[in-house]
């Protein structure tokens, strides 16, 4: 019999198992809700990015169903051939209004938006100057572009400036940060980096995946939160987190967007959204406009839960957002913490190397607007019990 040429993959998996880092996929039986059925257990769900509870909002469901009835289930083509439907353009107009930019292009995911845009805008003689904790899709886009990648220490704008100053004046440079960092929940050095980009003539890009729907007026994101409108050339957002559906987008000048129509490979070579997804996203933008009190509830819950975790004595890092990590240190310990929490009825996913640094493994918690106080208090009680048991309270 032929030897399995993929057997080396099994040894990789065995080594994960030996380190206590092998994970089974947790399965959600019903809806993505604050109290959910996961692996046949009722748990308080602190693992989703469903910040505003929009995955199950009646208005989004209705608009998606209506779109299925009127427009079918698929778009049938890539955007640049026959897959641009009127509803895609309506969504892009609404997003441009929301982000206060000239134009927007929607991609299949935030990942595709980042990777496709960085790879299209830059080429091999250019430089990307990137925060060390930027999202994987930015890094992959930079690699695909074949530009030189220079990394600055997390949020260290002075270090970014030093790197940029040493580069030849004529070289094209892209300075890029996440708006909110997905593993620590802290904010990027957006205003300082905007000033440096202006001073040194770089392209400024912000990935606002975790900020849209969360920060700024009506959830417009960190550009609005920091009031740097007009100073960020390339804004990326996702429709997969607070917006509750799926997709990513780039907001910027009309020229940037037209360029991406012609050069961004996910736009050219991958089929566009089903109309129901676009319809749900439009309904979500209506909700942000008409019911901004949902965002207030998100922040009330965030303050309650974050201060609760800190009062218990957990190391919650520098978080400033609804993402609060509980840092355990060692990878196996973080996984153990996550498993014990789950047994006690709290779902908070463990995250270890290579997603975070080797000595900063954690469970990550994300509260949503739709968690009740009782659910959050229950989760805090479980954290207190399990944290004491495992000796990870400071």
Residues forming the active site: 182, 210, 241
Among 141, 248, 308, 331, binds ligand PLP (CB under 6 A): 248
Tell me the closest approach of the beta carbon of residue 171 to ligand PLP, in angstroms.
26
List Cα–Cα distances, 187 to 36, 43, 54, 180, 263, in angstroms: 29, 29, 23, 5, 30
In whole angstroms, what is the distance from residue 180 CA to residue 186 CA?
6
* Residue ranges in 87-126 that form contacts with ligand PLP under rule CB under 6 A: 109-111, 114
Any contact of residue 186 with ligand PLP (CB under 6 A)?
A: no
Among 129, 209, 287, 382, binds ligand PLP (CB under 6 A): 209
The pair of structure tokens assigned to 52 is 């505003």
Contacts of 76 (CB under 8 A, 6+ apart): 82, 83, 271
Specify the 3-state DSSP secondary structure of 220: coil
Any contact of residue 305 with ligand PLP (CB under 6 A)?
A: no
Q: Which is nearer to ligand PLP, 122 or 133 (CB)?
A: 133
Any contact of residue 321 with ligand PLP (CB under 6 A)?
A: no
Q: Which is nearer to ligand PLP, 239 or 337 (CB)?
A: 239
- Under a CB-based contact definition with an 8 Å cutoff, are residues 250 and 259 in contact? no
Any contact of residue 137 with ligand PLP (CB under 6 A)?
A: yes
Residues linked to residue 130 through DSSP beta bridges, in sequence order: 151, 176
Any contact of residue 130 with ligand PLP (CB under 6 A)?
A: no
**Count of residues engaged in binding ligand PLP, rule: CB under 6 A:** 14
In whole angstroms, what is the distance from residue 376 CA to residue 30 CA?
20
**Cα 221-98-265 angle, rounded to 5 deg:** 85
Among 48, 75, 130, 182, binds ligand PLP (CB under 6 A): 182
Q: Which is nearer to ligand PLP, 145 or 238 (CB)?
A: 238
Q: Which is nearer to ligand PLP, 53 or 387 (CB)?
A: 53
Q: Which is nearer to ligand PLP, 248 or 350 (CB)?
A: 248
Any contact of residue 178 with ligand PLP (CB under 6 A)?
A: yes
Specify the 3-state DSSP secondary structure of 234: strand
In whole angstroms, what is the distance from residue 75 CA to residue 108 CA?
12
Task: Report the residue closest to ligand PLP, judged by CB.
Answer: 110
Tell me the closest approach of the beta carbon of residue 127 to ligand PLP, in angstroms.
21
Any contact of residue 207 with ligand PLP (CB under 6 A)?
A: yes
Query: What residue ranges in 267-376 does DSSP mark as E strands?
Result: 323-329, 346-347, 350-351, 361-366
In whole angstroms, what is the distance from residue 240 CA to residue 238 CA?
5
Residues forming the site for ligand PLP (CB under 6 A): 109-111, 114, 135, 137, 178, 182, 207, 209-210, 238, 240, 248
């Amino acid at each position: 019999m032929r030897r399995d040429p993929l057997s080396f993959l099994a040894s990789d998996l065995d080594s994960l198992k030996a380190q206590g880092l092998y994970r089974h996929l947790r399965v959600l039986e019903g809806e993505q809700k604050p109290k959910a059925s996961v692996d046949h257990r009722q748990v308080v769900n602190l693992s989703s990015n469903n910040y505003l509870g929009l995955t199950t909002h009646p208005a989004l469901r209705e608009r998606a169903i209506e779109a299925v009835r009127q427009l079918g289930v698929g778009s049938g083509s890539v955007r640049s051939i026959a897959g641009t439907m009127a509803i895609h353009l309506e969504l892009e107009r609404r997003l441009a209004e929301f982000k206060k930019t000239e134009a927007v292009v929607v991609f299949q995911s935030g990942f595709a938006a980042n990777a496709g845009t960085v790879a299209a805008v830059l080429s091999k003689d250019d430089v990307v100057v990137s925060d060390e904790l930027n999202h994987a899709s930015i890094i992959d886009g930079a690699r695909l572009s074949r530009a030189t990648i220079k990394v600055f220490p997390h949020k260290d704008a002075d270090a970014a400036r030093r790197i940029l100053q040493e580069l030849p004046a004529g070289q094209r440079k892209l300075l890029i940060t996440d708006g909110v960092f997905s593993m620590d929940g802290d904010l990027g050095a957006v205003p300082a980096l905007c000033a440096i980009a202006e001073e040194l003539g770089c392209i400024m890009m912000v990935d606002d995946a975790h900020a849209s729907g969360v920060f700024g007026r009506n959830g417009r994101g960190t550009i609005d939160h920091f009031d740097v409108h007009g100073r960020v050339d390339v804004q990326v957002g996702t429709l997969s987190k607070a917006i509750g559906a799926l997709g990513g987008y780039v907001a910027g000048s009309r020229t940037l967007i037209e360029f991406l129509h012609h050069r961004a490979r996910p736009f050219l070579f991958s089929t566009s959204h089903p109309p129901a997804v676009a319809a749900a996203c439009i309904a979500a933008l209506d909700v942000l406009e008409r019911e901004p009190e949902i965002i207030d509830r998100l922040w009330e819950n965030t303050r309650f839960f974050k201060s609760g975790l800190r009062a218990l004595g957990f190391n919650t890092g520098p978080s400033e957002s609804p993402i609060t990590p509980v840092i355990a240190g060692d990878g196996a310990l973080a996984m153990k913490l996550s498993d014990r929490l789950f047994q006690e009825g709290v779902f908070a996913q463990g995250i270890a190397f290579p997603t975070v640094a080797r000595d900063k493994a954690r469970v990550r918690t994300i509260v949503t607007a739709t968690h009740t106080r009782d659910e959050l208090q229950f989760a805090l009680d479980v954290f207190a019990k399990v944290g004491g048991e495992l000796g990870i309270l400071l």
